[in-house]
Amino acid sequence: MKFSALSLFLTVTSAAVSQPKPAAKSYKGYKVFRVPVGTDASKVSGIVNKLGLTTWKGAPRAGTFADIVVPPTEVAAFNQEVSGMDVVTMHQDLGASIDEENAFGTYAAGAVNSTWFNSYHAYADHLQFLSDLVAQYPSQSEIVTSGNSVGGRPITGIHFWGSAGKSKKPAVVLHGTVHAREWVSTMTVEYLGYNLLTNYASNTEIKGFVDKYDFYVFPVVNPDGFVYSQTNDRMWRKNRQAAPSGSSCIGRDINRNWPFQWSVSGGASTDPCAQDFKGRAQGDAPETAALSSWLKTIKANQGLKLFIDYHAYSQLFMTPYGYSCTALPTKNTEFQALAKGAVAAIKAVYGTSYQYGPICTTIYKATGSSVDYVNDVVGADYTFTSELRDTGNYGFVLPASQIVPTATETYAGFRYLLQNMK
């Protein structure tokens, strides 16, 4: 589905966009702690459950760390429970960290340049930025949508191509902000597209990439959740789908809702209040249904060479599968070689270390995920998912000063794939 840049729905009404209202949910005085789980996860899980706390990276797992959000009312009790454990404070005041991060840059319509990546931006600014980018390259790019969110917002991206013309080459598709609070993924995916398109005419290598593939770049595939994370609750993860019957909890995790291996147990929650709620049925999130249908159409029309789903945080570069820790895709040996090379390329930029491997054994079991679906159902040649910076100093609330370094090193890993895919 396509529409012109001029008809793109924008909420921007002036050249300089005003800053959004602060999030309605206050995290003032909240603290975030990193707790070593050890060999027995039940102890840390017991603390989380006893005090009614939330975690940032799922349920505590043996041999890892649990990043735990503690409201002011429970700090004293939490400190008592973890006494003697090697606990690290990630955020002394989560609310203050969010306020600093939310100093959104203003964007003057038409001013497309690299300063965009120096700060985070309101959703309306992202739409304007994409529209302005297309306006600068009207013969080589277009605004595309891959369907609508549950709230009716178009899932908006940019499509650009090389000398052969549009839709003539196999596609490379990038997704960002599947989970609403992962803001650095929005900026990073935009950077990858911006870097390729703006340097096409001056960089021989980049020209070769863009002449070889069509690129479809979607910085925000969960627009309702993203807007909600900017206006109501910075820590919101899911979409904004109505609560199922018998529950008051809103939203589905659209990366646990894809119609492949959705019914496998242990990789998502059936609790509508959980962060990883899988939905009542596979593909029952409008975003998932739209994205899955659109990807199948792309595959049928021009072929799908590469799909990458960008997330944050943990510094991981992962391959299928998430639904099983024993099953492996047919091309696993090649996937691991490419992932290893991408991780090395990322590290060569600033020394940032990423781990790589199958989703299930590298981070955790995840059923109904995009990567598994795109690999086995759509049939893309290569599929990966990446967790961007960092590993726990800031977590989801990554300072704006780290956007450019994150995006730059991510491009190095992406470049490695474009150089080495068969």
Q: Are 168 and 302 in contact (CB under 8 A)?
A: yes
CA dist., res. 161 & res. 200, Å (int): 10
CA dist., res. 53 & res. 149, Å (int): 30
Report helix angle 204-212 to 403-420, nearest 10: 60
Distances (CA, A) of 395 to 50, 68, 196, 210, 239: 24, 11, 28, 33, 20
Q: Which DSSP string corresponds to 112-151?
A: -SGGGGGS---HHHHHHHHHHHHHHSTTTEEEEEEEE-TT
**Active-site residues: which are they?**
387
Closest to 90 (Cα-Cα) out of 410, 411, 394? 394
Helix, strand, coil in percent for the chain, rounding step 5? 35, 15, 45
Q: Encoding tokens for residue 130?
A: 């994409």
Q: Which DSSP string corresponds to 255-317?
A: TS-SSSS-S-TTSSB--TTSTTB--SSTT-SHHHHHHHHHHHHHHHHH-EEEEEEEEESS-EE
